[in-house]
Every structure is written in structure tokens, then in C-alpha cells.
Structure 1
């Protein structure tokens, strides 16, 4: 079970006070029969996005190296913290009053033409919201600029996207859960970013793989099941989702004639949880990526079919 203290990076007393009131006497597990909005306080229990995903990227470049936007050494990067419905489906951009994404993707609430259009945000970038919150915001911002890295766009645009598309769809991050008189504007954004960081820090994917002699290489490939079993051994035996891109295996020379059409370049890992109490409490119960019967990977399954590529020269910070 994932366990970490609230706000390990950016402690804000007023926020802790507000959320302390949201802690139930008997923690209720999201997606359980008890976790329905009519039965529990939705600030105390995640009743909307009860299947929580902590997601990570493995990128090999940022596209903005010339501007100093680099990838961290010996680490995956944070992608986000997502609230799926208990059946594995999801929604997005749930509160236009907290829509800070300048380039909404998708650009409707359903991702389809008949969905409600999401208005692009044109105001100050979200990093300015953090700096306005003083020391906690500055400290968190420094961490995010090291580990929460975007590709082909400034970091703050990725952060705005993740908050607007996903954070607004958690019941426990709703503005009504931050009603303490001392709370500052955008404290919900600080809270979401900080909690996302804490889940990420609890899941050191790079270190777990390295301990099993699975390290980035442009000359050695790996087998999907070996990566899955390694990560599952650190996730209560539950297999996370592994995402791959690049060529399909049966389009490569090695896979010519194969029926395996999975992709061959490892790019993402998604860890699934049900959570006790509010998401902010950090009490997650790992569950498998196939909890609803869906796919657990887009990667090729053949032996030695997955590449975990090295970072491009000049794209990584020095350790």
C-alpha cells in the first residue's frame, strides 16, 4: 500500500488544517460499495474518480534543450495523476472555472465533435500561481522543473493541461474541499501538483528496473514480461500498464512475419490504485491495469522486442 505524508514537498499549515477535517474516522476504499457520493462525504472519500492512476513518461528528448528544459538523470518523469471511473472509463475538463490549459487536448469534454467545447485559456501561466504562494510554491516549482518535464512545449503547459483535464475531475480536489478561511487562491492547484509529486516519488521506476539489470540501452532490447514482473514485484504483485511507441514489432526486421503488432519503444508506465480516504492522504491500494479487463500494454510481447532507449545526447541533466 502506498503511504506518504501530506505535502512532503510544500507544507502549508492552512491546507493541512483544511484537509484534516476531511479525514474519515473509518477510511473508506474508493470503488467499494460504501464509496458512493450519497453515502459518504466526497471530500473524505474519492467518489468520482475512484480508480487513480499515477503515470510516468520515458522520453529521450524534450525538443527544448536549447532553452534549458532537460530530462532528469536516472529517472522517469512525471506525467500526471488521473481519476478514472471505477469501470475504467473517464471524463475530462470537469470545471471550466479552473481551466488553465492554453491548448485543450481533446478540445471537447468528450473528445468527440458533439462534446462541449473547452475554451482555451489565455491568462497567466500556472507557474506564476505557484510563485505567488511563497516558499511552498517556489520549492514545489523547483522540483517540478526537474522531474515533471514536457516534450515540445514548455513545462508549465503540461502542468496546466494535467490540472485542467484531470484534477478538476477528482471529488477530493473540488474547491469546496478547500473552504478553510486561511486558504490562498490556487491552493487546490498547489495541492494537486504536490500530491502528484508524492505518488511519483513513491514509484521509482528507473531504480526498480536498474536493480533488475534493465537499463536504458541502444544495443540491448528487453522482453515485456520481464519488465512487467519487475515492476509488479514492487506494486503488491499488481501489473502496471506499459505503453510503447515507435515501430510495430511485425514491421521490424526482427519481427518480420510475426503476428505480434505491439509497439517496440518503451515510453510510459501507469500505476493503478484504489485509495482509502481522500487521494491527498496517500493511502493507495495497488490494483492491476487489467482490473476492468482492458489491455495491460501496447508493447510487443515477443522475446527481446522492447527497446528502452538511452536519452539523446544533451537532453539529460547531469546526475
Structure 2
């Protein structure tokens, strides 16, 4: 009897550990937002406005990406749970405004959102189901208010140049957390403000200081904030 009881206890412990592992299968999120002016100014041939028209001159969501503390990340975690637009039908108006696609050819955004869910979102589904993943990301975008933070510091998207520290300090002042800034280059070789990374805890609820920053996308000494 004791032997069977011990086996049962062991099985229950293993089940608990399995659930615990599933709920802790990544360490944090990157919330990545993109300046559309820099996307389009880098290679105009690859910039197409959505079928709904030109997006607002504001940072748009690129994605919410699960990551590990060592700098690596999981991807394409559940091919059996593909993107289903009907699950976010109540979010579509906000998605088109805040998470627009600029890829060519022009589209409504479904392909972009599908890619983000399939590659990144499925790796967080132990915490966020499909609807929660997109709803949470939209909420985080509103919470961070990047453009307002920059404008409040006198950093405007009018083609002017700023230092990396000026940009980082403005965003930290506005959000409370240190961002990582990714730059690309315009056709003249100028470094421009392209993407802003902030880190979020595994619940998707709270901004945190980044355990590790990405590599690549380095910025020059002066960074252009192009118009859009």
C-alpha cells in the first residue's frame, strides 16, 4: 500500500512540476514599437500603406516577444494553434490603428498579425491566449505613450537629429524604464530612430528593467527622427 501511495505522490509531484515548467517557459517579453517614418524612409520600395490608408504618425506595434535571460528566445511553439482573426474580432479597429502593417503588397494586416502570433504569441500561450495576447499588447502600447514622451522632451518627428542619450532619457522619463533603441539608415546613410524595445514581466502586466538588451541595429552619434 505504501508503495502505491508513494508512486501516486511521485506522479502528482511530476505533474505539478510539468505545469510549473509550462508556466515558466520564458523569462520576460520585449514590447517592440516601430516608427513608421523610419521603416518607409529606409527602403521606400518595401513600404506600402495598409488597405485602410496611411497610418497615423505614431509608433506602431511590431510585437510582444517572449525571451530568455540569456538573450535567446523561443519561436513557433504551437503549430496546432494558428492565428484566427475571428478570435480578435472585437479588437480589429484598434489593431488596424495601433498595429498597422507597412509591408508590401498592401494588406489589411492579417498576415502580419498571423506571423506575430504564430512565431511569438504561441510561445506565451501558457500565460496569454490568443485574444489576451493581442489585447495585452494594445494596452501596453497605450501605457507607454512613446511619442508623447519624446515630444514632452522636445524630441519631434520633423527630420531633426538627437543624441541616443537624449532619446533614451526622454523615454525613461516617460515610462520609468530604460529602453533599448534600434536604428536603421535612410537612403543618405543617416542613422534614424527605428524601433524602441521595452521589457515586460511574464504576466504581460508590468514594465520591468530589461534583463538583457538585443544585439544589432546600432545607432550613430546623431539620430534622425524623420517625418511620416
Change (3 A) 1:207 1:80: same
Aligned-partner Cα distance in 2 for 1:190–1:147: 16
The Cα shift of 1:308 comes to 0.8
Q: Does 1:97 align with 2:80?
A: yes
The Cα shift of 1:85 comes to 1.2
Q: Does 1:226 align with 2:166?
A: yes
Aligned-partner Cα distance in 1 for 2:131–2:201: 22
SS at the partner of 2:201?
strand
Paired residues in the alignment total 203
- Structure with the higher helix share, 1 or 2: 2
Residue 50 of structure 1 contacts residue 274 of structure 1 at CA under 8 Å; is this kept in 2? Answer: yes
**Which residue is 1:286 aligned to?**
208
Aligned-partner Cα distance in 2 for 1:294–1:190: 27
Aligned-partner Cα distance in 2 for 1:171–1:67: 30
The Cα shift of 1:41 comes to 3.9
Q: Return 5+ residue gaps in structure 1 as ranges.
A: 1-36, 101-125, 131-136, 175-187, 253-262, 312-319
TM-score by length of 1: 0.57
Q: Does 1:88 align with 2:67?
A: no
**Residue pairs, 1:132-171, within 5 angstroms:** 137-153=88-104, 154=107, 155-170=109-124
Aligned-partner Cα distance in 2 for 1:221–1:206: 15
Q: Does 1:50 align with 2:11?
A: no
Q: Does 1:205 align with 2:156?
A: no
TM-score by length of 2: 0.77
SS at the partner of 1:89?
coil
Q: Return 5+ residue gaps in structure 2 as ranges.
A: 1-15, 41-45
Alignment RMSD, CA only? 2.8
Aligned-partner Cα distance in 1 for 2:70–2:136: 23
Q: Render the CA deviation track for 1:83-108: whole Å, top value 9, x for unaligned.
A: 001222112101111244xxxxxxxx
